[in-house]
Structure 1
Amino acid sequence: MKFLLDVNVSGSLSDFLIDLEYDVACVRDVDRSMTDGDILAWAVREQRIIITTDSDFEQLIWLQDQPHCEVLRLENLPRSKRLSLLQDVLADYDRELEAGSIVIATEQKIRIRRKLRDMKP
């Protein structure tokens, strides 16, 4: 899997993914003021899963119908808890992450959202 980490995702998550030998790119290494639309286009172009803590990408995808790859939105928690959520998602929801889903991970639950046109009847 290939990931694109939004500026609001900590370096410890990046380090964790790199240690697991995932392909990781970080917005903060290119342009901290990059727009969400540009980040989404980057992810689509390079087939990367966006990891973020905000819902802006969901707005672009659901309301503006922007092309997208996968998005993992982690609850904005302390770093150690976000890392734990990431580990849970990678262990149990890797197929969903690779199938175009938006995965929303909170301490209470993990939700999987798929585009309606992508769902089979």
Structure 2
Amino acid sequence: MKAALKFLVDVGVGKNVEGWLRSQGFDTTALRDIDPRMADQDAQKLASTEGRIVITMDKDFGELVYRLQQKHVGVLLLRMNDAHKDEKLTAIKSILSQYGDQLNNSFSTFRNGKLRIRK
């Protein structure tokens, strides 16, 4: 699974998630290291070009995928606006262990402890 999954982590997700993904051997790029102010559309294009799943807390990615039909490799939207960094990390660990093989080419939304995956 690890070799197949590559991630682009949006700024709001947090450094601890980025660090954990890297420590687990996932090919991970953080927007904060490239351009923290990069437009969502540009971030989505970058992720698609590099074969990366976007991990974000920004609902605008839904508009890019559904309304604007922007090409993507996958989006994992964390609807956890007031979550502590440890809560986000716990969610990512759980999602990847249970559903990692289903994230490619899907738009997944995590909210209230549940993951919805749309292909």
Could you say which residue in structure 2 is the equivalent of 1:108? 113
C-alpha separation in 2, matches of 1:95 and 1:30: 27
Specify the SS of the correspondent of 2:13: coil
C-alpha separation in 1, matches of 2:62 and 2:118: 10
Mapping for residues 1-121 of structure 1, pairs under 5 Å: 1-74=5-78, 75-76=80-81, 77-98=83-104, 100-114=105-119
Residue pair 1:73, 1:105 contacting (<8 A) in 2 also:
yes
Residue pair 2:8, 2:47 contacting (<8 A) in 1 also:
yes
Q: CA RMSD in A?
A: 1.0
Q: Deviations over 1:89-117 (max 9, x none)?
A: 1011112112x011111233111122xxx
Q: How many angstroms does 1:19 deviate by?
A: 0.7
Specify every segment of 5 or more residues in structure 1 that has no aligned partner in the other structure, as ranges: 115-121
C-alpha separation in 2, matches of 1:63 and 1:84: 31
Residue pair 1:52, 1:73 contacting (<8 A) in 2 also:
yes
Specify the SS of the correspondent of 1:93: helix
| Count of aligned positions | 113
Specify every segment of 5 or more residues in structure 2 that has no aligned partner in the other structure, as ranges: none
Moved over 6 A (4+): none
Larger CA Rg, structure 1 vs 2: 1
Amino acid at match of 1:66: Q
Query: What TM-score do you get using the length of structure 1 for normalisation?
Result: 0.89
Amino acid at match of 2:110: A
C-alpha separation in 2, matches of 1:110 and 1:68: 19
Greater RCO (CA < 8 Å, at least 6 residues apart): 2
Amino acid at match of 1:102: F
